[in-house]
Structure 1
Amino acid sequence: MVVLNRARNVVFLSTYPPRECGLATFTQDLVNELDEIKLINKPRVIAISNGDYRYDERIIMEIWQYDRDSYVKAAKELNETDTELVVIEHEYGIFGGDWGDYILDFIDNLHIPFITTLHTVLLEPSDKQKEIIKVLGEKSCRVVTMANNTVKILTSVYGIDPSKIEVIHHGVPYKVVEPREKLKERYGFKGRQIISTFGLISPGKGLEYGIEAIAEVAKKHREVLYLILGQTHPCVKKEYGESYREKLEELVERLGVEENVRFVNKYLTKDEIIQYLQLSDIYMTPYLGRDQAVSGTLAYAVGYGKVIVSTPYPYAKEMLADGRGMLAEFADSKSLARCINYILEHPEVKSEMEKRTMALGRTMMWKNVANQYARLFIKTIEETQLKGDTLVG
């Protein structure tokens, strides 16, 4: 029997802070915003853990990432609760097994309807990667993706029913911040043109091309300062140590741009990210991955109305359309430098780009995004319950 217009019980399966992970931050931001929506009871979380974390009261159980049995156990325990919908936040490297196939053990034992949110959509997946998304797509009530460019990939490559696919932007936290020039002064950057890149550092980020581009720009604009914000990705650090960062530091020294490039080697809080974005004149993503469908860091930059210079991966092309930034060639520092120089030398163009980016960015604030998710959750719960129950007023 379905009773409409009452608060619904939703549980997320994801990583969660204090684990340092973009997915954890995403989930925390979303559930915090959903707390404000009366049609959803305070969402709970099953945390995927790879270490000993001290979680808050939102966590109702943990799954040990590399323990296959814990996925089965968690699903069976969840079946005994009043949970009406499970939301699986999917990213490669989060779940145990071959490309994270332990998640399939979880859904095989789950008797509750679920939605899958895909944080990575690969154009050319391996057989195993393809199989996992295909099965999730078949068994999910809905599949959420964060960019329009992925819809065709999900239908053609993974065979997901297009009627199941929902596009909801990556959310961005809203915070009132000081004006750019005031923040620059506070951080000791007065009179500098700030270019920034933030996120967990790994070789795929193409930061060496960003540094080479800054060396080129600095020949004409000595006031330019490139901030590389963030620590080395934990998985990269575990396997290779700090070798990539050390190579970048050596490159800075070799090019003689120590005054134009600065590393902020730490895991940034949301407040720090927002402040660094606010004081930036240009946000740069020189990424090397040609198939990157979504980028949380780029979403943040759009959310705060930044002029963006990026390589043309699919998400950047979508976000920077209609004059919201400039696209450079992959692995091409001279192309990046030309874009940066053009923006710095045409302040009226920069100002117009900022206005256009901010217009899109406003739609990506977490309040708007959480409302879209809440509507989707309620609709999905009601549809699944109506299939087997008699509707009563």
Structure 2
Amino acid sequence: MPYNIRIVSTYPPRRCGIGTFSRDLATALAHFTAEVGHIRIAAIDNGHGPYDIPVDLVIDQYRPKSWHDTIVHICTRAAEARNPTVVILQHEFGLDPDAKGNDAQGANFVEMAKAFRDRGLDTLVYLHTVLDEPDAHQRRIIQDLAKYSDGLIVTTESAIQILESTTYGIAHEKLKHIDHGIRMQNPSQFNRLSIKQEYGLEDRFLITTLGLLSPDKGVQYGIRAYGRFLHESCTDAQRKQMVYLIAGQSHPEFVKAEGGELHRQFVATIEKALDEAQVTWCRTKELGSAGFADYDVIFLDSFLDENTLLRLYGATNVMLLPYLNTQQISSGILADTLGSGRIAVTTKFRYARELIHSNKKCPEGLIIGRYSRGILVDPGEPAVEQIAQALDYLVFSEKKRFMMERQAHQRGYQMRWNNSAWALLQYVDFIKDQKEIVTGRGLKFTREKPSKLDVHKYRRIHVTTTVDAITQELKTGKPS
């Protein structure tokens, strides 16, 4: 019997990475018509509507009653449906305010999970933030989500290690890794050239930073590094063949924060970096209108619709991600960069270490990732020197760059959204099977008297005896 899928998340037109993630997941799930009945979204809203199907419920993010009403609606509709309902919560602390409106201090997702468990609804939670050093509230929320849901899903293996550690103490069987999906396949060299020609970028090496801008994206360090590369490595003629495109607006929530003061400070920081880098730059609303021959850095100050975003992946030679938050466990931009067969130069945030370097130990300094999928650098001030070195390596080593593109695409190909959606459906099947096994076991017995037949006791004795024998042999030099 197919599942009805209910996703609780932000959703377009709200400009939010988690909303984009949920949209792409829903689109991929819809391809599995034999396994999926219908897909509906309960959209967490903060004045960004109106919404279209598949959104059928809207949660007013800062109104507690709206969260409660949504729980009632979901439970009611699940009870009325012929197909079993599976609820998927997309958890992010920043989407969960408390009753007083304090951001990241709520427990709305936990209340949802608990209510759905009590109604017998299968409930899974995607965790979009897993912190190494959570505060008491953050730790409790994650632990409660594990307690009341059927499973926690993360996009990095390393997040499972954190959740299993003494910091959270969550059982391994409650945790599942599923790749972050990617949207596009590797465009051929012809496609890259044709896209560049369309934008007037032919014969130019394109370095790109994509996505909503905010201080933790570290763009100021990327600008300074790019300026250093131009001055140290390029002739005047070569400089005219380079362009650094920073495409995307500042995050709307960030622009409004504290009356816009934080955003004004951020803009000042970027302009200072441009001055220090000694680069020419401009802002434009349309890429085709920019004079690339006249500027080193172009800011495409507009929201990137799906078509534009995918075309920019295709046109890019190197994706620059100088992020400052090293605990970040997910990045759609990085996932799509590899999926597009493009090289990422990125700071060593958690998701980058996993995709680029297979979670191997990362010493300080520039690292060309395992299997050469990209280049890792340290965040903040050290990134200026290291990104400049990475650009020098990639620009002047064409064969190595093309090899890195192929290696990146090989990993990205495994992460197609259809693969991730299918993995999710298989996990749902596994959860249901486990429940049926547990409920079909019959009586449960606990040991009430010691027994010589206790295998666990025998194994402990055997291991102790073996260790003692080895120790004696080492002391005497004679077999025991």
TM-score by length of 1: 0.93
Find 2:28's aligned residue among 26, 30, 33: 33
Match of 1:311 in 2: 347
Asked if 1:198 is matched to 2:194, the reply is no
Residues 68-100 of structure 1, C-alpha deviation per residue, up to 9 Å, x if partnerless?
Answer: 122222212222223522100111211222524
1:328 aligns with 2:381: no
Q: Do residues 237 (structure 1) and 232 (structure 2) align? A: no
Aligned positions, number: 385
Q: Greater RCO between the two (CA within 8 Å, min separation 6)?
A: 1
Other-structure match for 1:3: none
Distance of 1:24 and 1:118 partners within structure 2: 14
1:123 corresponds to 2:132: yes
SS in 2 for 1:284: strand
Structure 2 distance, partners of 1:119, 1:274, is 23
Check whether the contact 1:86–1:114 (CA below 8 A) recurs between aligned residues. Answer: yes
- Return the letter of the residue paired with 2:49: Y
Query: Contact 2:217/2:321 (CA < 8 Å) preserved in 1?
Result: yes
Does 2:143 align with 1:137?
no
2:468 matched residue in structure 1: none
Q: Does 1:159 align with 2:169?
A: yes
Residue in 2 aligned with 1:247?
A: 269
Contact kept? 1:343, 1:350, Cα under 8 Å: yes
Aligned match of 2:363: none
Which of 361, 373, 379 lines up with 2:424 in the alignment? 373
Question: Cα distance 1:140–1:108, how it changes in 2: closer, same or farther (>3 A)?
Answer: closer
Question: Quick check: which has more Rg, 1 or 2?
Answer: 2
**Secondary structure of the structure 2 residue equivalent to 1:42:** strand
How many Å apart are 1:50 and its aligned residue?
A: 0.9
Q: For residue 154 of structure 1, what is the amino acid of its counterpart?
A: L
Q: 1:358 to 1:90 in 2, by over 3 A?
A: same
Q: Runs of 4 or more off by more than 6 Å in structure 1?
A: none
Match of 2:90 in 1: 89
| CA distance, structure 2, for counterparts of residue 373 and residue 87 of structure 1 | 10
User: What displacement does 1:127 show?
Assistant: 1.3
Query: Which range is displaced more, 285-294 or 104-113?
Result: 104-113
The one-letter code sitting in structure 2 at the alignment partner of 1:133 is: I
After TM superposition, the structure 1 = structure 2 runs for residues 196-235 of structure 1, keeping only pairs within 5 Å, are 196-219=208-231, 220-221=233-234, 222=239, 223-235=241-253
Contact preservation (8 Å) 1:217, 1:224 = no
Distance 2:311 2:392 in 1: 24
Q: Give the Å deviation of 1:388.
A: 5.1
TM-aligned CA deviation for residue 386 of structure 1? 6.2
Amino acid at match of 2:12: P
Contact 1:72 1:109 (C-alpha < 8 Å) held by counterparts: no
CA contact (8 A) 2:114 2:149 kept: no
Q: Could you tell me which runs of 5 or more consecutive residues in structure 2 were left unpaired when the two chains were aligned.
A: 79-83, 281-294, 358-369, 442-480
Find the partner of 1:288 among 324, 337, 341.
324
Counterpart residue identity of residue 28, structure 1:
R
Give matches, 1:18-29, under 5 Å: 18-29=13-24
What does residue 392 of structure 2 align with?
A: 341
Task: Report if aligned partners of 1:13, 1:45 keep a CA contact under 8 Å in 2.
Answer: yes
Paired with 1:250 and 1:187, the residues of 2 have a C-alpha distance of 28
CA distance in 2, matches of 1:363, 1:171: 9
Q: Which moved more, 1:172-181 or 1:113-122?
A: 172-181
Letter in 2 for 1:173: R
Q: Could you tell me how far 1:335 is from its partner in structure 2?
A: 1.1
Match of 2:184 among 165, 174, 177: 174
Distance 1:301 1:200, change over 3 A: same
Aligned match of 1:278: 314
Code of the residue aligned with 1:171 in structure 2: it is G
Cα pair 2:14 2:48 within 8 Å, conserved: no
Partner of 1:55 in structure 2?
51
Shift of 1:22: 0.8
- Aligned-residue offset at 1:52: 5.0
Partner of 1:75: 71
Give me the whole-angstrom Cα distance separating, in 1, the residues matched to 2:255 and 2:436: 46
What CA distance in whole angstroms lies between the structure 2 residues aligned with 1:299 and 1:319? 8
| Contact 1:15–1:47, Cα closer than 8 Å, also in 2 | yes
Choose the corresponding residue for 2:114, options 94, 97, 108: 108
TM-score, normalization by structure 2: 0.76
Q: 1:105 to 1:224 in 2, by over 3 A?
A: same
Unpaired stretches in structure 1, ≥5 consecutive residues: 1-5
Which letter does structure 1 place at the counterpart of 2:214? S
Return the offset for 1:382. Answer: 4.5
Give the partner amino acid of 1:27: S
Alpha-carbon distance, 1:244 to partner: 1.2
Higher fraction of helix: 2
Q: Is the 8 A contact 2:129 2:328 kept in 1?
A: yes
- Greater shift, 208-217 or 375-384, is seen at 375-384
The amino acid of 1:327's aligned partner reads L
Deviation at 1:389, TM superposition (A): 8.0
Say which SS state the counterpart of residue 93 (structure 1) adopts.
Answer: helix
Deviation at 1:337, TM superposition (A): 0.3
Distance in 2 of aligned mates of 1:313 and 1:89: 21
Contact 2:91 2:125 in 1 (8 A): yes
8 Å CA contact 1:12, 1:87 repeated in 2:
yes
- Indicate how the Cα distance of structure 1 residues 52 and 296 shifts in structure 2: closer, same or farther if over 3 A, else same: closer
1:174 counterpart letter in structure 2: M
Deviation at 1:184, TM superposition (A): 1.4
Q: What amino acid is aligned across from residue 5 of structure 2 in structure 1?
A: V
